[in-house]
Amino acid sequence: MTTLTREEIYRLVWDAPMTDIAKKYIISDVGFRKLCIRLDVPLPKRGYWNKVKVGQKVKQSLLPESTKRYPSVELEERPPEQPAKEVSELDLLTKKMALEKLPFKVPERLTRPERVITEARESLAKLTDPNFPGMAITGKGQLDIRVSPPNVGRALRFMDTFIKCIRARGYLLELAKDGTYIVIRSTKLKVNFRERTTRFRVSNKPYQEFEWRPNGNVVFRLDARLKSEWQDLKIKLIEEQLPGILAKLELAAKQEEFYLEKARLWQENWERERKAKVEFEARQRLEIKAFKDLMKNAKHWKQAELVREYLAAMPDPDPQWLSWANAKADWLDPYNATEDMWLRDIDKESF
């Protein structure tokens, strides 16, 4: 156990990043930050340690003087076999997102709603989903919302705030016949707002034993390759989770880009290998044909030489027949390739 005064805490927080401190003591970086705030210890601003890392001169905030007596703090040193819990990329991005000046607060009443919200409200007032009794739905090419009438206002306020946030972040909203998309850079992420359903047994409908009815619990869903959904928690409503939702969308877009780039490289490599295989097989066919021609010509040449050796060995052959036989050897010999009107259409391979 190590006892640290306020002054020692101050020196500690300016000597190393909080993630390093969390590795040394049994306390999270978030817990250590809260401790510093409680002791009125100034903290390095965002980007401070990056500047230190590259050798830039940075200003260290002074420890405020105070007449208040702050108690010493006891921190237990972290044993080597107990590593500090790493903060996830999503948590880091959520914290960063929460600090941005975005309109995260969902109002109690719609104020200057987006045009798409107004259009969705009109549809929700008159359209119902035949597959889910008691559900109001939006039309095709509108915001994808399906909730019971009591939750229509909540859905519209949430989606209006959500749209304002994504536009403030520079994202785009795209409404298609098959759903609602958030476009981050060049990546499209499908989202929707839903009310959960509960299965009920029915007895007054032929050929249908169950139906699904709204149960009041709403969720916001990301229906991309990496699916996620947000709902009311015990300590946080869905309306209070917008920083985390935007952070997840950003990471989902990043992961989708990585996946598509990986797929593109795989496709390029596959195309390259396929082309190389096609070229190899084409060249192989030419090589096989050329070699077969070589073997065929060698065979015919050998046959022609055999005929000539035979003729040379014959004792006193008939001159006319000898001339005829030599002509046949010349026809068979690939080097002479003499035409023979009687063998014009005959394949040499038949001999």
The per-residue pLDDT for 31 is 83
Region for residue 47 given its phi and psi (left: phi exceeds 0; alpha: psi -120 to 50; beta: otherwise): left
- Average confidence score pLDDT of the chain: 90
> What is the reported pLDDT for 159?
97
Strands 187-201 and 145-147: parallel
Whether 222 has a pLDDT exceeding 90, the answer reads yes
CB distance 192 to 179 below 8 Å: yes
Q: Which residues pair with 73 in a beta bridge?
A: 4
Q: How far is CA 232 from CA 82, 192, 241, in A?
A: 33, 16, 9
Query: Cα angle vertex 122, ends 121, 123, to 5°?
Result: 90
Residue 58: predicted pLDDT: 84
pTM strictly above 0.85: no
pLDDT above 70 for 84: no
Q: What is the pLDDT of residues 136-171, one digit of tens each?
A: 999 999 999 999 999 999 999 999 999 999 999 999
10 Å CB burial of residue 136 (0-12, 13-18, 19+) is: buried
Q: What percent of the chain has pLDDT over 70?
A: 98
Distance CA 136, CA 347 (A): 83
The two structure tokens encoding residue 205: 């409908």
Least confident of 51-65, 117-131, 264-278: 51-65
* 85 pLDDT above the threshold of 70: no
**What tokens does 8 get?**
């020692």
Helices 242-313 and 152-168 pack at an angle, to 10 degrees, of 60
113 to 125, 245, 329: CA distances (angstroms)? 16, 20, 99
What pLDDT is attached to residue 146?
96
Average pLDDT score over residue span 175-195 = 95
Look at 81-90, 142-151, 296-305, 340-349 and tell me which has the smallest mean pLDDT.
81-90
Task: Give the start-to-end residue ranges of the domains of the chain.
Answer: 2-87, 99-264, 285-350
Residue 53 confidence (pLDDT) = 84
Q: For residues 300 and 333, is the Cβ–Cβ distance under 8 A?
A: yes
Q: Note the pLDDT of residue 338.
A: 87
Lowest mean pLDDT among 173-177, 188-192, 197-201: 197-201
